[in-house]
Homo-oligomer: A and B are copies of this chain.
């Protein structure tokens, strides 16, 4: 399936110059993108499209084609796919809609037969946005590049049953210091389904964590078995659409396949080890922390802060989300008491007070990392105070490199704070803006660590190895 994400050559079937058409958006995205491999345009009615020679059929292309992206009207799709199979194209992404999701049974059956008869040409779609690859920069999502940014390369892969939502989230992720390995919108899943994708991403070295938006699995049993195996190696975070009886019905008219009930999926997620997110923000904060932090031995969290109130609301979030507040060991208490002025109360939250600079942070973090009573270190920094200078970034990044426990930074502010947070992220630290979001993510991390301890050794696990 490698060739689906980094093909040496791509044919755009249905490439077009017509403004507003998918065929044009697709080809323009290729022309304007950082994808560096060969792209061919296929259109039987034109000699050339947007400056590229146009071939009448994919079969006329005088070279091997590893990926075909099909964006012709639904009724022409079977023929186009057939030609791909004859050309021995490895993968075909069918962007076109107009099949089972609108009740087109005959056309759907016709397409299904071609897919079944030609197993050597694997099909993604139809009715999907296709693929974006962080590394090769392949992008078949036909989103307007003027309006849509794509995230940087990273180690989280994201598969989405909903294409439009998926692309909107990709666009948003580009603003969140968030890196993507592979994105796949798989639509009606007539060929490759979510289970195949999980299996492939588990094997993929570039993917450390899988995030997914799912309304209903194509093949329930297959999904269960594969997810169970994958979770032992690669953590999966899933946002399930349609969790109430009412929304459950709505998914029927959206993706065509009736989604399973909320309870069925909750049980399935629990049994397989899939981490369920309750909203978009959780989906990505969970994926982010699983990709960036080692698994903790427990949930005892130490909060280090330079703002009293910020420490208190963070502690409320830690407790409110089911983590524990760590109690420092006697040696740590002794050490901190000696190192800090009297106005610093040795407690949790550990309030270093407003005039704390990088030195006090260094002592506190070193102590927390050594103390066996602390499983997780949550560092709050208000960057507006004069005692904090930019060198705090270097200090925190240094400790993060040595840390064998989760060490995450939480801060909120405008440009200056955002710039510091970006540098922390570049240094390998997972950052959050809101204490409650951070606490929920840390809880998911601690729960997953517990699941792992109960279910298998750590030998084959991708997470927990920072």
CB pair B313–A279 under 8 Å, yes or no, is yes
CB pair B241–A313 under 8 Å, yes or no, is yes
8 A Cβ contacts from A413-463 to B: 413-418, 433-437
Count copies of this chain in the complex: 2
Residues of B within 8 A of A243 (CB): 316, 320
8 A Cβ contacts from A227-251 to B: 239, 241-244, 246-247, 250-251
List the B residue with the shortest CB-CB distance to A388: B147
A325 at interface, CB cutoff 8 A: yes
A168 at interface, CB cutoff 8 A: yes
CB pair B278–A171 under 8 Å, yes or no, is no
CB pair B143–A320 under 8 Å, yes or no, is no
Count of interface residues, chain A, beta-carbon cutoff 8 Å: 81
A213 at interface, CB cutoff 8 A: yes
Residues of B within 8 A of A54 (CB): none
Residue in contact with A167 in the complex, picked from B143, B306, B384, B386, CB distance below 8 Å: B384
A89 at interface, CB cutoff 8 A: no
A361 at interface, CB cutoff 8 A: no
- Distance in angstroms from A28 CB to nearest chain B CB is 11
List the B residue with the shortest CB-CB distance to A382: B168
List the B residue with the shortest CB-CB distance to A343: B102
Q: Assuming A247-B316, A345-B253, is B149 touching A415 (CB within 8 A)?
A: yes
CB pair B281–A325 under 8 Å, yes or no, is no
- Distance in angstroms from A355 CB to nearest chain B CB is 9
- Beyond A250-B315, A250-B348, A253-B345: 6 further Cβ-contacts under 8 Å? A165-B382, A171-B414, A244-B316, A247-B312, A250-B312, A279-B435
